[in-house]
Structure 1
Amino acid sequence: MNKQLTTTDRFILYGTRAAALFTAAGLCCWGVWYCMRLLRYEETNDAQIEAYINPISARVSGYISRIRFEENQFVKAGDTLVIIDDRDYAAQASEAAAALENARAQTALLESRITTLRNEAAVSAARIDAAKARLAHQQQEYQRFANLLAEESTTQQRYDNVKAALDIATSEYQAALRDHASAEARIAEAARQSAAVTAEIKRREAVAEQHQLSVGYTVIRAPYNGRVGRKNIQEGQLIQAGQPLTFISNDDTPKWVVANFKETQVQQFRAGQPVTITVDAFPGETFHGEIASLSPATGSRYSLLPPDNATGNFVKIIQRIPVRIRLLENPTVQARFVAGMNANVSVSK
């Protein structure tokens, strides 16, 4: 025998049917919307916000004297971050400067010596002229007395005296020539020494400049505006040249998104194509961008150990291609983004 339904049972029955119908209709609508969206958009949730994050490294070794930043602190370009004890480098710079001054003093001494040698060469040249004049006079005397002796108008003794005087004048002239040549050689030698000292000065200038640079490198400054990340050092710590001290994000350049789409999704992608972005950290907000470029290789090819399908058993895996997306938001909005945030990207077909 059928039992009569009460008012409450009928209410529950009709309500359940209505809810089921509304749920089915909603699911149908959602399914239609989702299918249309799949036809109109290519989507991926394998995307992240990216920014330039560079290490701040030491260029010289030494003990840290002071640290002038805190983790996550905003700094401006040129702000001092770390100071290294520079006493050793300052002493080396002073020594190099002293060596440079000594080399320059040697140049002054050589220039004075060259001036003196040139004066001596001028004197020897004058002596040559005098010796040459005396030699010419003695040659004339010798010729005259030789003629007189042939005519027996003079004595052999006087002839011998004139001949001896000619020999002495000739020797003095040759000695003057040798003295002048020696003076010229000393000038040339001093000039070569001056060239060597000039080259030494250039070398010492380079050494002094290098030591001055080393002194400057003991003060490590922020290369650009940004926010300092993790601090890996403490005051008094010994650091080596090239050692990363901290990391800094570059706020002078815009951030971007790298979305890793499947290889079956990128056939129609092109540069300049509009992109819609949602970030997990900001639910309900939508951001805009455009495709900047597509990677020339899949992400696996950039890994430390790229796969080699010629070895072992082959299992086909759909590869992903990194797509760089330029954010079109203003800097104020981009400042809210942090590198590494997860994002969802939709590209209209």
Structure 2
Amino acid sequence: MKKDAEQNNGKRTFPFTEKGRQKESRSRFERLFHVIILSWKRDWRAWQLTRNKYVLPLLFLFFLAGWWFFFSSNWVATNDAYVTGNVIPVKAQTSGRVVEVLVESTQYVKKNQVLVRLDSLNQRVAFEGAKQNLAMAVRKVEDLFNKAKSLRNKIAAQKAILGRQRYDLGLYASGSKAGVVSVQDAIDAQWKVQEIESTIRQLEDELHSTESWIQKTTVWDNPIVLKAAVDLKNAYLALYRCQIVAPVAGYVARRSIQVGDEVTPDRLLMNIVPLDYYWVVANYRETELRKMKPGQPVKIRADIYGRRYLYHGVVEGLEPGSGTVFALLPPDNATGNYIHVVERVPVRIRLDPKELIQHPLRLGLSVVTKVNVSHKGSSVLKPITEIPANAKTSDYTSTYFSEELSGVDDLIKTIIEENRYPQSESKDTLSQDLETPPSVHPTN
């Protein structure tokens, strides 16, 4: 207002005049314009502060979302996973008292190495008795063959006598009619013929009874000898199994046997764990299995090594059911108190054997697995699970039990040959003897 007064040479301008009203209106407009400009500048500074406070975090969140969409969403991870493998039980196959324990827990044992020895006194006595029983059986069969030969010879002799006696009976009958021979002599001749016929029938019955034991057999395959051979094999096995051996190579775990313990068949003595073949079982939620297939690569970190080492694996296959299905008490959902629970399905993951050699693992160790589900893989119905060639011969095959009877066959042959007669009746027409004895394989 002062300015206006000075510009008007000190003359005061009143607002009710036209000129005054114009100046007043222009002054208000300028003040409003300045207020708007100042307000806009203030809002601009506040927006800049807000942008710095919220925009950058939002951009970071957008970046994380993009990274998850393109990278992280292709991986499915779980920490509900553990290392597992084969645990081979070592059990007794015969009864006895422990007299020697040769291994300790955590000790490495070789395949077919002796682990425990049992008291074998009773088994040795039974084995010696079985050998004698086999020898007696061979001699008995030889006696049967000789008896059959003797009976056939007697029958042949009696038939010859019978023929002569029948001829004499005809002469006596003719002489009796002619009055040359007395009637009593003819009757005596008739009785003699009947007596010889009765003797022949008795000898034939005895021959049939004897032949029933040896007919169509030899000493080598006669049931009496085979039964004694089976008993000898059982006694041999009982003695042989007093030494308990390792079916596979590995490390001893949980030895529970002590010297002096009385063991029975199928009692668990210890476990053997081979460390050359392990795998991982990861329990994934059912909602995470939509894209999971065999053949997809897996990243594995074991808690024992932390982030210092990364294992690489492959999905071999998915179990055909969730864990609850194979539980001791499967759930029964047909009840009124049903609660929906997200199930977990075990997924078998193969480990690299070379990495296991460099960084060994143990059964039951916890691991974290991440499966790359973006990999194509194969059909869920075609798992790629297979036993490695080295594990198939070392961990999944044991030749020890099939070799337990490897020495008893030769022993049986020796006993049979030593107890046969120098000229065996088994070469008779009733049996077909062999120039070389066949292998004896009686059924256990």
TM-score normalised per structure 1: 0.80
1:188 pairs with 200, 208, 233, which one? Answer: 208
Shift in Å at residue 224 of structure 1? 1.0
- Determine the structure 2 residue equivalent to 1:50: 84
- Determine the structure 1 residue equivalent to 2:323: 299
CA distance in 2, matches of 1:85, 1:28: 77
Q: 1:100 to 1:334 in 2, by over 3 A?
A: farther
Aligned partners of 1:225 and 1:251 also within 8 Å: no
- Determine the structure 1 residue equivalent to 2:287: 264
CA distance in 2, matches of 1:27, 1:74: 55
CA distance in 1, matches of 2:196, 2:362: 89
Q: Tell me, yes or no, if structure 1 residue 276 matches structure 2 residue 310.
A: no
Tell me the C-alpha RMSD between the 2 structures.
Answer: 2.9
Deviating more after overlay: 101-110 vs 118-127: 101-110
Q: Tell me, yes or no, if structure 1 residue 78 matches structure 2 residue 112.
A: yes
1:179 pairs with 199, 204, 214, which one? Answer: 199
Deviating more after overlay: 25-34 vs 270-279: 25-34
Shift in Å at residue 205 of structure 1? 2.4
- Determine the structure 1 residue equivalent to 2:252: 228
CA distance in 1, matches of 2:372, 2:110: 39
1:91 pairs with 118, 125, 139, which one? Answer: 125
Q: 1:235 to 1:186 in 2, by over 3 A?
A: same
Q: Tell me, yes or no, if structure 1 residue 340 matches structure 2 residue 364.
A: yes
Deviating more after overlay: 319-328 vs 36-45: 36-45
CA distance in 2, matches of 1:174, 1:126: 14
Give, as a single letter, the amino acid of the residue that structure 1 aligns with 2:117.
Answer: I
CA distance in 2, matches of 1:26, 1:87: 82
Residue by residue over 1:201-254, the C-alpha shift from the partner in whole angstroms, topping out at 9 and shown as x without a partner, is 4333222211211111111111111111121121122222211111111346x2
Q: 1:338 to 1:319 in 2, by over 3 A?
A: same
RCO comparison, higher one (Cα < 8 Å, 6+): 1
- Determine the structure 2 residue equivalent to 1:105: 139
Shift in Å at residue 263 of structure 1? 0.5
Aligned partners of 2:175 and 2:181 also within 8 Å: no
Aligned partners of 1:80 and 1:222 also within 8 Å: yes
Give, as a single letter, the amino acid of the residue that structure 2 aligns with 1:187.
Answer: L
CA distance in 2, matches of 1:113, 1:329: 69
- Determine the structure 1 residue equivalent to 2:186: 166
Aligned residue pair count: 313
Aligned runs of 1:122-271 on 2, under 5 Å? 122-142=156-176, 145=178, 159=179, 161-192=181-212, 198-251=222-275, 254-271=277-294
Residue by residue over 1:167-208, the C-alpha shift from the partner in whole angstroms, topping out at 9 and shown as x without a partner, is 33333222222222222122122334557x954443332222
Q: 1:115 to 1:345 in 2, by over 3 A?
A: same
Shift in Å at residue 262 of structure 1? 0.6
CA distance in 2, matches of 1:126, 1:227: 80
Aligned partners of 1:134 and 1:169 also within 8 Å: yes
CA distance in 1, matches of 2:89, 2:356: 25
Deviating more after overlay: 281-290 vs 339-348: 281-290
DSSP 3-state at the match of 1:161? coil
Percent sequence identity is 26
2:72 pairs with 21, 24, 38, which one? Answer: 38
TM-score normalised per structure 2: 0.64
Q: Can you give the 5+ residue segments of structure 1 that lack an aligned partner in the other structure?
A: 1-21, 146-158
Q: 1:26 to 1:91 in 2, by over 3 A?
A: farther
Q: 1:251 to 1:191 in 2, by over 3 A?
A: farther
Give, as a single letter, the amino acid of the residue that structure 1 aligns with 2:172.
Answer: Q
Q: Can you give the 5+ residue segments of structure 2 that lack an aligned partner in the other structure?
A: 1-55, 374-444
Aligned partners of 1:255 and 1:334 also within 8 Å: no
Shift in Å at residue 80 of structure 1? 0.5
Give, as a single letter, the amino acid of the residue that structure 2 aligns with 1:265.
Answer: E
Aligned partners of 1:99 and 1:204 also within 8 Å: yes
Which structure has the larger Rg? 2
